[in-house]
Amino acid sequence: MLFNSLTFVVFFVVVVTAYWSMRSWNARKNFLVVASYIFYGAWNPPFAALLFSTTAMDFWLGRRIAKAKGRHSRRGWLVGSVCMNLSMLGFFKYGNFLLQNFQWLLARLGIIYQPPHLDILLPVGISFYTFHSLSYTLDIYRGVLKPTKSLRDFILAVSFFPQLVAGPIVRAGDFLPQLVRPPALRAGQFLWGLLLMTLGLFEKIVLADTMLSGSADRIFGYAGPLVARDSWLGVMAFAGQIFFDFAGYSTCAIGAALCLGFHLKDNFRFPYAAIGFSDFWRRWHISLSTFLRDYLYIPLGGNQVRPVRAATNLVIVMFLGGLWHGAAWTFVVWGLLHGSYLVVERVIRVLFENRARTNNLATRLLGGFATYAAVCIAWVFFRASDFTIAARMLGGMFGGHPHGDAILTTREMLQIALVTAGMILVHWSLRDSNIETAVMRLPRWIVTAVWAFMACAIILTQGNSNAFIYFQF
């Protein structure tokens, strides 16, 4: 079920009430497992069985890894876990993509092959819960986590409903310790959780869906050439939309978890105030970027190898990060672009190391602006469903269609400009801080008014909203 649905509102009220009225910690955990599976099964009940089977397999494999004596044996069990998780992901998410590319490759060799179209339904959130589960066996292999003795606890760690379908990617090592003792609600924690849920829903329903998504859809869906202004505004609208959509979901998840006494880490930290791309990836989808860093980039050698190898590793990691988002070459190009951005940034850092002028305000602002612009260019490939659309958009953005069409209404242009300017202003003003600090610094009447405004705006949208973009991943 969606956070922005009436079903979830009722579900959440029932779950929170029942959860806090139970005295036994074990009963609460059992109840959360059932609630999480109901939450997941509300999309497609049979896929709950798939979720359970992969979780149970990883639980068993985790114990095997821990018990294995030799290095080869440990590695063997880990390979088993990785293969099981990635093959499931591969089948459901990349099955048709792989077949299509295989067909294309054979056609290049002059072999005509018509593969059957697999009518595969993608289990919602499979990319996320696969990574939740995989982090468990990987951490046991790395020796930073001991296997849990409780299958129930592990099931809850993987399926905990706030983070189950669209992140953040909560590692078992971060969640399992929270299941040892019953959480105690600190003063204000429950209401702070509710405020975060309101903020998350406001970001998703009001800012992403109401203010930006329509313009982004119109621009990316327009079949003709567009002038530069409309093209850029369309991409900026999407840049804002995807941030508010995904950060909104993460904020809701964090708030819902807080209401139940659990603590999830931030998944976004004002990414559009990033100066440089490594900074961007420390702020955008932090749970994925740290996952890729710890389980892929560092095992590949990280920074401890020669510069060319390190650069190659970066590109490989971002290539796979792109592919994780979707089974399409446009996502791969998006990942490769970010990989190449990171490599170029490293080169620039080496060239301008120890230059005092690189640290002044103007340079930082210029760096921030350049980062935002480059990220927007990469978003074109993320949003465009094929390369024809991406090429048309880029053509428009770089003045290739001076006589193209100007289709956005003045209202849409104002909406994009105001929301984007507000977003960037907030990101820059909070880039070295956090939302909690900001709330404490604000006068109480402003916090009250903003919270009430957000709640009223959500009610005004009447739930007339789309699914979260990241559900498809």
Partner 1 sequence: MPSSTSNFKRKLRLPRLFFSTPPEIERVHGGPPLEYERPIPEVPSRGIATVVVLMVIAATCAWEFYCRSIGYGPTLNDGEDLWTSARRRVKPDSIVVIGDSRGWFDLDLDELQKGLGKRPVQLAMGGGCAYPVLADLANDENFHGTIICSVVPRLFVAPPGTPPMERAEKAVRRSHTQTPAQRVSQYLAMPLEEHVAFLKQQELTLDDLVKRLPIPNRPYALVSPRIPPYFGTLDRERRARMIEGCAQPGKLQTTIQQIWLPLFTPPPPPTYIPKEEFAKRMGQAIEQRFHDVAAAVQKLRSRGGKIVFVRLPHSGGLKALEDRETPRAAVWDRVIKDTAAPGIYYEDFPELAGFNCPEWSHLSAGDSVEFSKRLIPHLRAALQM
At its nearest, how many Å lie between partner 1 and the CB of residue 358? 24
308 scored as a contact of partner 1 (CB under 8 A): no
Q: Which is nearer to partner 1, 273 or 343 (CB)?
A: 273
Which of 71, 355, 357, 444 lies at the binding interface for partner 1 (CB under 8 A)?
444
CA 220 from chain centre, in angstroms, equals: 22
Q: Which is nearer to partner 1, 340 or 461 (CB)?
A: 461
Q: For residue 27, which of 133, 147, 152, 149 has the smallest C-alpha distance?
A: 152
- Binding positions for partner 1, 115-144, rule CB under 8 A: 139, 144
189 scored as a contact of partner 1 (CB under 8 A): yes
CA dihedral 75, 79, 81, 86 (to 10 degrees): 150
440 scored as a contact of partner 1 (CB under 8 A): yes
Listed ranges 83-91, 96-104, 245-253, 457-465: which one lies at the site for partner 1 (CB under 8 A): 457-465
Which of 315, 407, 426, 430 lies at the binding interface for partner 1 (CB under 8 A)?
407
Residue 70 φ/ψ region, left for φ over 0, alpha for ψ in the -120 to 50 degree band, beta for the rest? beta
391 scored as a contact of partner 1 (CB under 8 A): no
- Binding positions for partner 1, 60-79, rule CB under 8 A: none
422 scored as a contact of partner 1 (CB under 8 A): no
Which of 80, 90, 95, 183 lies at the binding interface for partner 1 (CB under 8 A)?
183
- Binding positions for partner 1, 255-284, rule CB under 8 A: 258, 263-266
Which of 82, 100, 103, 218 lies at the binding interface for partner 1 (CB under 8 A)?
218
Which of 210, 267, 371, 420 lies at the binding interface for partner 1 (CB under 8 A)?
210
252 scored as a contact of partner 1 (CB under 8 A): no
Q: Which is nearer to partner 1, 151 or 373 (CB)?
A: 151
At its nearest, how many Å lie between partner 1 and the CB of residue 149? 9
Listed ranges 103-111, 146-154, 293-301, 383-391: which one lies at the site for partner 1 (CB under 8 A): 146-154
Which of 451, 466, 471, 472 lies at the binding interface for partner 1 (CB under 8 A)?
451
197 scored as a contact of partner 1 (CB under 8 A): no
460 scored as a contact of partner 1 (CB under 8 A): yes
Catalytically annotated residue among 325, 338, 401, 427: 325
* Site track 12-51 with partner 1 (rule: CB under 8 A), x = hit: -----------------------------xxxxx------
Active-site annotation holds for 325:
yes
Q: Which is nearer to partner 1, 69 or 411 (CB)?
A: 411
456 scored as a contact of partner 1 (CB under 8 A): yes
At its nearest, how many Å lie between partner 1 and the CB of residue 152? 14
CA distance 440 to 191: 14
Size of the site for partner 1 (CB under 8 A): 79
Listed ranges 91-99, 236-244, 340-348, 430-438: which one lies at the site for partner 1 (CB under 8 A): 430-438
Q: Which is nearer to partner 1, 118 or 459 (CB)?
A: 459
In the numeric block, the tokens 């499931």 are attached to 88
At its nearest, how many Å lie between partner 1 and the CB of residue 262? 9
CA distance 311 to 302: 9
Q: For residue 144, which of 154, 155, 136 has the smallest C-alpha distance?
A: 136
Q: Which is nearer to partner 1, 263 or 349 (CB)?
A: 263
Catalytic residues: 325
